[in-house]
């Protein structure tokens, strides 16, 4: 092996090091057989990351999670495995039944044990399922489980009644209903979340935040509470806390369809359209895609990302599902007329209230601008770029390894690799970085000052509450490209460059003034204006 590496070095070629799902899966199996469960979990998670629709990877990860006691997460992956396989994997039902039994959720355990026995009456776990049912009956002191199911149905009905009260605007009644549910079922977190919403709708903001805080103290990972808290903070102007929470949500990877919808819709309301689209699109193989609300939200996310064809596709699906509704027809008409501009509020399933029409900006180079947008989308994946920026702040061994993988993966765009290399050199200036591209490799020993300044600008934009959306990313890339190719010092004043990028991105949407942006970033209007002028001239030459 050593000779092979040396020969490759002498010939100036690079031996590809392919890391895909199968690679990590095999490493996970080895670790699993050695009972190194935490390592096995890490390897299986990476396998699922590379091939998220492979049922075998999902099932093996679920098995490890069950062994280390994470039964709920294990069941999430088992549900996912069932969604991605064309053949019925009946054993998943048995494994889920076991997980529910460990959680003390005996009615659910009975349900899935019976599902397994129904789908695979000759299966290897049939007798085990029967024993599990006997154990469930014993644990419940021979209580008729049908009674427990009736109680559960009653709770669901009461909660649905409370939600309908909220929808009708009967907020006082909703508060009474939800408080009654909480008194009887103190760990039924959904009631708390809807109680927080009720307080918020009544402008009882302090009470709303207190309810969510109490949920997160008792149940720290409650996704609905985290999402609602992020929305509340955004609407109440709590920018810094809201940004911290939003970044936390960007690292969440739910499996359950309801959680994916909640996360996607939250990102949409907060105008993080890329993340909204990712999680809403992840519902494609679930029953939620029969819901007009979900299809409409997905359509809005596509439209916000500059993909009107896909947006119209999902609005047509919305119209087909909701035959009596008028939401889809409203949006399709506006989109076809070219007068539709979407924002976070459009993710709600309703026809917007009439407002004064905004004049569309005239731009002779608009067609060139659109074409440039397309080129950027094709050459760079924004979520990867965002992930690199996050790794910049995590100076640990695992982050360094991930950055190293980016630099050595042949298929990644060169610009992404250059950014990854600059971050690695910030982490460890004494260690040169090997960058592989186009069948060649290069050793980089000093970080690019342009890219380092560019990343500082991204940080400045975030600190001032600017969402790193498609428009911002476009102008950031063009500003960095201008500084790099024209050897201009436009990036030296971080706040000035960030203000210019933010201004141009907002102006493209038709809403801002130079005075407002200069005040936000603490720079003079003349500094902002000069940078906007330089980048605009560059765009005029390069388009």
pLDDT tens digit string along 333-383? 999 988 899 988 899 888 886 543 333 333 333 344 334 334 433 434 455
| Mean pLDDT of the 481-494 span | 81
3-state secondary structure of 151: helix
pLDDT mean across residues, the chain = 79
The predicted structure's pLDDT at residue 138: 61
3-state secondary structure of 520: helix
Identify the weakest region by mean pLDDT among 287-291, 380-384, 499-503.
380-384
Which helix or strand (DSSP H or E) is residue 495 part of? helix 494-509
Strand partners, 443: 434
The predicted structure's pLDDT at residue 379: 39
Question: Between 150 and 529, where is the model more confident?
Answer: 529
Identify the weakest region by mean pLDDT among 7-21, 215-229, 240-254, 259-273.
7-21
Q: What is the Rg, in whole angstroms, of the alpha carbon atoms belonging to the chain?
A: 27
3-state secondary structure of 54: coil
Phi, psi of 486 (to 5 degrees): -95, -5
Which residue has tokens 């029967």? 130
Q: How far apart are CA 46 and CA 53, in angstroms?
A: 13
Of the candidates 382, 378, 428, 381, the one whose C-alpha atom is nearest the C-alpha of residue 403 is: 428
Question: CA quadruple 233, 236, 237, 238: dihedral positive or negative?
Answer: negative
Of the candidates 132, 149, 137, the one whose C-alpha atom is nearest the C-alpha of residue 96 is: 132
Tell me: pLDDT of 300 over 90: yes
The predicted structure's pLDDT at residue 394: 65
Which residue has tokens 């009474």? 176
DSSP letter assigned to residue 346: G
The predicted structure's pLDDT at residue 270: 92
Question: Between 341 and 85, where is the model more confident?
Answer: 341
Q: How far apart are CA 473 and CA 511, in angstroms?
A: 17
Give me the percent of the chain exceeding a pLDDT of 70. Answer: 82
pLDDT confidence band for 8 (50 / 70 / 90): very low
Longest CA–CA span in the chain (Å) reads 80
Identify the weakest region by mean pLDDT among 11-15, 157-161, 230-234, 241-245.
11-15
* Residue 260, token pair as written in the block: 């994916």
3-state secondary structure of 281: helix
* Residue 209, token pair as written in the block: 């935040």
Which residue has tokens 């392919």? 18
Identify the weakest region by mean pLDDT among 244-253, 324-333, 381-390, 458-467.
381-390
Tell me: pLDDT of 1 over 70: no
3-state secondary structure of 89: coil
The predicted structure's pLDDT at residue 384: 64
Q: How far apart are CA 128 and CA 56, in angstroms?
A: 22
The predicted structure's pLDDT at residue 324: 81
Q: Helix/strand/coil (H, E, C) string of 283-305?
A: CCCCHHHHCHHHHHHHHHHHHHC
Question: Between 376 and 89, where is the model more confident?
Answer: 89
The predicted structure's pLDDT at residue 357: 35
| Mean pLDDT of the 48-54 span | 81
Phi, psi of 433 (to 5 degrees): -110, 135
The predicted structure's pLDDT at residue 529: 86
The predicted structure's pLDDT at residue 277: 94
* Residue 157, token pair as written in the block: 């009905």
The CA distances from residue 469 to 14, 306, 383, in Å, are 36, 11, 10
| Mean pLDDT of the 133-137 span | 74
Tell me: pLDDT of 165 over 60: yes
pTM tops 0.75: no
Of the candidates 391, 396, 397, 445, the one whose C-alpha atom is nearest the C-alpha of residue 416 is: 391
The predicted structure's pLDDT at residue 480: 86
Q: Would you mind telling me the total number of residues written for the chain in this entry?
A: 543
Query: Which alpha helices (H) appear in 51-125, and where do they start and end?
Result: 55-67, 71-84, 90-103, 106-119
3-state secondary structure of 435: strand
DSSP letter assigned to residue 412: S
Give me the percent of the chain exceeding a pLDDT of 90. Answer: 17
pLDDT confidence band for 393 (50 / 70 / 90): low
| Phi/psi-derived region of residue 333, left when phi > 0, alpha when psi is between -120 and 50, beta in every other case | alpha
Tell me: pLDDT of 279 over 50: yes
Tell me: pLDDT of 440 over 50: yes
Question: Residue 285 CB: number of other CB atoms within 10 A?
Answer: 13
Which residue has tokens 């959306």? 469
């Amino acid at each position: 092996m050593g000779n092979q590496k040396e020969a490759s070095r002498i010939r100036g070629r690079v031996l590809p090091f392919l890391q895909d799902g199968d690679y990590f899966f095999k490493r996970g199996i080895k670790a699993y057989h050695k009972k190194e469960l935490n390592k096995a979990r890490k390897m299986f998670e990476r396998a699922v990351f590379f091939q998220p629709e492979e049922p075998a990877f999902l099932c093996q990860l679920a098995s490890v999670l069950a062994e280390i006691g994470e039964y709920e997460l294990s069941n999430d992956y088992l549900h996912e495995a069932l969604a991605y396989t064309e053949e019925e994997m009946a054993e998943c039902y048995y494994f889920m039944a076991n997980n529910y039994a460990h959680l003390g959720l005996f009615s659910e355990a009975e349900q899935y044990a019976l599902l397994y026995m129904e789908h695979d009456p000759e299966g290897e776990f049939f007798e085990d399922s029967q024993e599990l049912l006997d154990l469930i009956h014993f644990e419940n002191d021979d209580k008729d489980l049908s009674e427990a199911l009736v109680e559960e149905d009653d709770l669901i009905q009461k909660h649905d009644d409370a939600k309908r009260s909220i929808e009708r605007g009967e907020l006082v009644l909703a508060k009474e209903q939800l408080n009654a549910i909480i008194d009887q079922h103190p760990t039924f977190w959904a009631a708390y979340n809807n109680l927080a919403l009720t307080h918020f709708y009544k402008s009882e903001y302090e009470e709303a935040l207190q309810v969510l805080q109490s949920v997160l103290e008792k149940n720290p990972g409650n996704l609905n509470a985290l999402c609602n808290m992020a929305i509340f903070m955004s609407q109440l102007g709590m920018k810094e806390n809201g940004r911290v929470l939003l970044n936390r949500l960007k690292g969440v990877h739910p499996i359950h369809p309801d959680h994916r919808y909640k996360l996607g819709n939250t990102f949409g309301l907060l105008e993080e359209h890329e993340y909204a689209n990712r999680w809403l699109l992840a519902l494609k193989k679930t029953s939620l895609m029969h819901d007009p609300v979900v299809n409409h939200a997905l359509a809005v996310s596509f439209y916000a990302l500059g993909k009107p064809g896909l947006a119209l596709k999902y609005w047509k699906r919305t119209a087909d599902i909701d035959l009596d509704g008028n939401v889809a027809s409203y949006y399709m008409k506006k989109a076809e007329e070219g007068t539709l501009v979407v924002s976070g509020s459009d993710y709600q399933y309703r026809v917007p209230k009439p407002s004064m029409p905004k004049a569309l900006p005239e731009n002779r180079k608009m067609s060139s601008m659109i074409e440039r947008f397309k080129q950027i989308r094709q050459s760079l994946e924004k979520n990867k770029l965002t992930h690199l920026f996050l790794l910049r702040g995590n100076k640990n061994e695992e982050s360094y390894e991930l950055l190293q993988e980016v630099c050595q993966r042949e298929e990644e765009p060169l610009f992404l690799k250059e950014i990854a290399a600059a971050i690695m050199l910030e982490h460890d200036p004494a260690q040169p970085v090997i960058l592989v591209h186009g069948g060649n490799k290069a050793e980089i020993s000093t970080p690019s000052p342009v890219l380092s300044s560019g990343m500082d600008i991204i940080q400045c934009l975030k600190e001032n509450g600017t969402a790193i959306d498609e428009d911002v990313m476009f102008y950031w890339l063009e500003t960095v490209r201008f500084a790099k190719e024209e050897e201009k010092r436009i990036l030296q004043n971080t706040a000035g460059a960030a203000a210019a990028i933010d201004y141009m991105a907002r102006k493209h949407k038709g809403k801002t003034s130079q005075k407002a942006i200069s005040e936000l970033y603490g720079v003079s209007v003349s500094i902002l204006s000069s940078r906007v002028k330089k980048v605009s001239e560059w765009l005029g030459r390069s388009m």
